[in-house]
Structure 1
Amino acid sequence: MLFKRNWELVICILIYTINNTAIAQEVNTFDSQGNKHGKWKEYFDSGKEMLKYEGEFIHGKETGMFKFYQEGLKQPAALMHFSPSHDTIRATYLSQRGKTISEGKLLNKQRTGTWKYYHKDLDRVMMIENYEAGKLHGDRKIFYEDGTLAEEAHYVAGELHGSRKLLSVKGVVLEDLQYVNGELHGPAKFYNGKGVLMSEGAYKRNKHHGTWRYYEQGKLKREKQY
């Protein structure tokens, strides 16, 4: 009798384990309204060997972390974190070595806010940009591998607008320019690698304008009118 009871108990445990394993492994299900609900995996091929994405839906809405793949590649190309309370998505793009290429936020499939880009196979920031509705808007900075500033500029609605400076790896300003609505417009100065002024003048709608001065070894060599 004791053996029989123990055997029945073992069978019940096995049935419970099998049922729960099946439930845990169930994917690609829908709710009563026909919306994706629960864990989902989609593939590029019918043989289900090339994963397209994997993540979880709650009544048709992505939630939590999703992994996205590129066709033919095994490691995730992008990680996207969906929030149940707002539409902003936190996105991270990855190399096949798992290194972060870029990271930032998406809204309505467009970049928004601050985005960071990294030097290849390094954890050092290569560029910082700011976006609004998918267009560059605000300051943009580019850095050399050692972290030294290489360029800084300002954008408005996707176009250069305001100051733009280019710097050498030693931090010396090489170009100091002004832009208006994407065009060179305003004072301009050019320096050599030692920071010595080489030329200066002004632009008007991408063209030289007015008096330009050219220097050699810091001394005025000639002037030219445009």
Structure 2
Amino acid sequence: MNYGRIYPATQRRSWRLCHLLGLIVCLASCATLPLGHPRNHLDAESKRHGRWREYFDAAETQVANQGRYRHGQPVGQWRYYAPGRMLEHKERYLRSPAHQLQLTYYHPNGRLAKSGQARYILRADGGRFYWFGEWKQYTDAGKPLLSEYYINGLLQSPAR
């Protein structure tokens, strides 16, 4: 990865699209892969509620993600794994301000790759997920790189 440079507009759009798709997959129905856990529960309005775990396989040996829902909304800390059981990233949903979360991504060797904040807005016509503020970056050896700065999901000039 080449961190710390400004990406062309098409790469920024595809990067944002990937993150939006990731959020949609997280909020998608249990009927789609990853497979839902039989102990996952719904509330009286058929919204996800309580501890939630999804798997890559029907034998439930490879966890895809795990966290908690409160009446259909993800809350607290969520963990997302690669098929080989490696932690890919963590999301921590903040109570205040609403619809804001702290994200932490990891290198394949388990070391911190980058961290920052994001917002998501869900509407009847769709949703929007975007990064904002400072995103700290690190090499796979753990050394800090230049931070990236985002405003409404758009990468700004790197910090000096």
Match of 2:134 in 1: 114
CA distance in structure 2 between the partners assigned to 1:61 and 1:84 by the alignment:
11
Q: Which residue of 1 aligns with 2:65?
A: 53
Cα RMSD of the aligned pairs, angstroms, is: 1.6
Aligned: 1:135 with 2:141: no
Q: 2: distance between equivalents of 1:67 and 1:135? A: 25
Give 1:96 deviation, angstroms: 3.8
Deviations 1:124-169 (A, max 9, x none): 21120110121113x413xxxxxxxxxx4xxxxxxxxxxxxxxxxx
Measured in 2, the distance between the counterparts of 1:69 and 1:60 equals 21
> What secondary structure does 1:81 align onto?
strand
Q: Any conservation in 1 of the 2:109–2:140 contact (CA below 8 Å)?
A: no
Structure 1: 5+ residue runs without aligned partners? Answer: 1-25, 142-151, 153-226
- Separation in structure 2 between the aligned mates of residue 133 and residue 96 of structure 1, nearest angstrom: 28
User: Computing the radius of gyration over CA atoms, which structure comes out larger, 1 or 2?
Assistant: 1
Distance 1:58 1:107 in 2: 18
Within-5 A mapping of 1:2-21: none
Preserved CA contact (<8 Å) 1:53 1:69: yes
Q: Percent identity?
A: 24
Q: Give a deviation string over 1:81-106, Cα, whole Å, max 9, x none.
A: 01233111100001243310000011
Q: 1:134 to 1:96 in 2, by over 3 A?
A: same
Gaps of 5+ in 2: 1-37, 121-128
Comparing both chains, which one has the higher relative contact order based on Cα–Cα distances under 8 Å and sequence gaps of 6 or more? 2
Q: 2:78 aligns with which of 48, 53, 66?
A: 66
TM-score w.r.t. structure 2 length?
0.66
The residue that corresponds to 2:105 in the other structure is: 93
